[in-house]
Structure 1
Amino acid sequence: MFSFAPYQPFMFSTDKKISGIAIQFHSDFYCIHRNPKETNCDTVLFNNIYQPPFIKVDKESEESFSLILEKLKSELKNVSENDYELLVPYLKIFLVTASRIKSQSKKNEPKITDSKTPYILRSLKNVIEENFKEKHSASDYATLLNISPNALAKIVKTHFNKTLTDLITERIIVEAKRELYMTSKPIKEIAFSLGYNDEFYFSRMFKSNTDISPQTYRDTVGFAKAELN
């Protein structure tokens, strides 16, 4: 099962015929950011820069998902305009189930034998979370972790197949999207809160990583939804 956030690029490459079911929902219908505790899927299924966007589904889980999907399909056929009383709960059940499976799969993964590496990675996640709004340089994080930039770069590349700069930038983009979607703050203010004094530099950085400008993203996904009501 794959879980993609809006505008997240992806591609399936195979020489075999594949099929599947896609569930797409707009944040106007159900917003995972406004209801983070209901499903726990915001950083488990979506917007998690440290994990691959997929999980393996065993037979038992497949049967559970199939039951929920059948209920969703049935309700979609019978739903009247603006009558989503059963669709939203079924969607929540699906997301909760998927989040639990992914959380459990992480617990069951084999542990890395190098004792230093998991400590460094855990520490890196923490320092990025604490400092990404102020520190954008890979060398800053190497200093915070008391490790050489080259050594940290090798560890990150080995375990995430990304550069440290990629991880920092992805975390910034996640936060920028959240602010653009959930608030009516001017883009200049959002840029400043993320450590960019130059609004235009921030906009270029955002577009180079998402293929759209901050304003286009805001206009496309909605505007200040969290400030309504």
Structure 2
Amino acid sequence: MEQNIFDSGLKKIGLVAINGDSGGVLGTDSYSPYIKIVYLPGGYSLTVDFSSYRTTGPTLFFVSPNQVLNITGTGSAPGSMIFYNRDFYCIQIHDEEVACDGLLFNNIYNMPMTTLTPEEGSFIDYLYAQIGDEFIHRDSSHEEMIRTYLKQLFIRSVRLWKRQHLEQEAAGQSSDIESFRKFTQLVEAHYKEKHNVADYAALLSMAPKTITHRFKRLSLPQPNEVIKNRIVLEAKRLLAHTQMSSKEIAYELGYEDPAYFSRLFLLKAGETPSGFRAKFLS
């Protein structure tokens, strides 16, 4: 499998070609700890966690380290995947929207993605080609050049993501978008012990109603749904990829009453934890 890697102390980034030979390898533990940007032309199918996707044209997927990625079908043209750790890019302290915990990662959609027009795809092709060239023609500045191209990729992708996932008039409401970004960051960090909107409102020094109104203006799911969806997603991961019992998972996710947790899972997932595990394993 064709792969280029920059590895310097704690900082690591790599570029992998995706084709029929490499597709199944990308979901292994070798890549799971890394943040990933997957660029696929049309004709590919993949799963991320428990959602399936099929590309009809150039598409970017933004995959967090805790998400399970599998390429289940490849198209005629090769794709590419950039993978890197937080030490490589997250030393950046400005431009919060394009940081590794910005709008493209760990947000309420769980699978941020942007579809590309042919013109946009040409620009992304250019950025990936330039990053690939930096791996080949290494000099004293190639690390910073890779980081510069990576940031351009994020800036362009954030603009596209806003246009595709937010109402046009809402995309310009920077204060609401920043509240949404911070809320989802906090949910990702605390969902195992904080289960109510009021818990996060206190962390944000905001009233719960203010958060609810801001999400409504962005036409997003309600904050309480965001919290519950994140909890159920983690429960599904543990049911699918560990041997933990439903009771153990309930305790792991901060519920002292396993029966209450099972009712929540049934309400959100449409089946019991044991039913979900049996269906997944079958």
TM-score over 0.5 for the alignment? yes
Q: Compared with structure 1, are the counterparts of its residues 194 and 31 closer, same or farther at alpha carbon in structure 2 (3 Å cutoff)?
A: farther
3-state SS, counterpart of residue 231 of structure 2: helix
5+ residue gaps in structure 1? Answer: 1-28, 63-86, 224-229
Q: How many pairs does the alignment contain?
A: 164
5+ residue gaps in structure 2? Answer: 1-23, 39-45, 60-70, 83-111, 117-153, 164-169
Q: What displacement does 1:113 show?
A: 2.8
- 1:166 pairs with 207, 219, 225, which one? 225
Q: Please give the residue correspondences for 1:92-131 in structure 2 after superposition, counting only pairs within 5 Å.
A: 101=115, 105-108=157-160, 109=162, 112-131=171-190
TM-score, length of structure 2 as denominator length: 0.47
Q: What displacement does 1:219 show?
A: 1.2
- 2:259 corresponding residue in structure 1: 200
Given that 1:132 and 1:168 are in contact with CA atoms closer than 8 Å, whether structure 2 keeps it comes out as yes
- 2:128 corresponding residue in structure 1: none
TM-score, length of structure 1 as denominator length: 0.57
- 1:175 pairs with 228, 234, 246, which one? 234
Indicate yes or no: 2:242 matched with 1:190: no
3-state SS, counterpart of residue 247 of structure 2: helix
Given that 2:191 and 2:231 are in contact with CA atoms closer than 8 Å, whether structure 1 keeps it comes out as yes
Structure having the higher strand fraction is: 2
Alpha-carbon separation, structure 2, partners of 1:123 and 1:48: 25
Q: What displacement does 1:118 show?
A: 2.1
Q: Compared with structure 1, are the counterparts of its residues 184 and 30 closer, same or farther at alpha carbon in structure 2 (3 Å cutoff)?
A: farther
Structure having the higher helix fraction is: 1
Q: What displacement does 1:158 show?
A: 2.4
- 1:147 pairs with 203, 206, 224, which one? 206
- 1:136 pairs with 178, 188, 195, which one? 195
Alpha-carbon separation, structure 2, partners of 1:39 and 1:200: 36
Given that 2:49 and 2:237 are in contact with CA atoms closer than 8 Å, whether structure 1 keeps it comes out as no
Alpha-carbon separation, structure 1, partners of 2:54 and 2:72: 23
Q: Compared with structure 1, are the counterparts of its residues 88 and 132 closer, same or farther at alpha carbon in structure 2 (3 Å cutoff)?
A: closer
Given that 1:191 and 1:202 are in contact with CA atoms closer than 8 Å, whether structure 2 keeps it comes out as yes
Q: Compared with structure 1, are the counterparts of its residues 33 and 166 closer, same or farther at alpha carbon in structure 2 (3 Å cutoff)?
A: farther
The residue type equivalent to 1:176 in the other structure is: A
Given that 1:179 and 1:190 are in contact with CA atoms closer than 8 Å, whether structure 2 keeps it comes out as yes
Could you tell me the percent identity over the aligned residues? 24
- 1:90 corresponding residue in structure 2: 74
1:70-106, Cα deviation, whole Å (9 max, x unpaired): xxxxxxxxxxxxxxxxx96737x67969967477654
Q: Please give the residue correspondences for 1:1-150 in structure 2 after superposition, counting only pairs within 5 Å.
A: 32=27, 34=29, 36=32, 37=34, 40=37, 46=48, 61=58, 90=74, 101=115, 105-108=157-160, 109=162, 112-150=171-209
Alpha-carbon separation, structure 2, partners of 1:210 and 1:218: 12
Given that 1:40 and 1:99 are in contact with CA atoms closer than 8 Å, whether structure 2 keeps it comes out as no
Q: Compared with structure 1, are the counterparts of its residues 123 and 38 closer, same or farther at alpha carbon in structure 2 (3 Å cutoff)?
A: closer
Supply the RMSD in Å over aligned alpha carbons: 4.2
Alpha-carbon separation, structure 1, partners of 2:74 and 2:54: 20
Alpha-carbon separation, structure 2, partners of 1:99 and 1:211: 25
Given that 1:45 and 1:99 are in contact with CA atoms closer than 8 Å, whether structure 2 keeps it comes out as no
Given that 1:39 and 1:95 are in contact with CA atoms closer than 8 Å, whether structure 2 keeps it comes out as no
Alpha-carbon separation, structure 1, partners of 2:278 and 2:270: 14
1:146-167, Cα deviation, whole Å (9 max, x unpaired): 1111111011122243211100
Q: Compared with structure 1, are the counterparts of its residues 95 and 194 closer, same or farther at alpha carbon in structure 2 (3 Å cutoff)?
A: farther
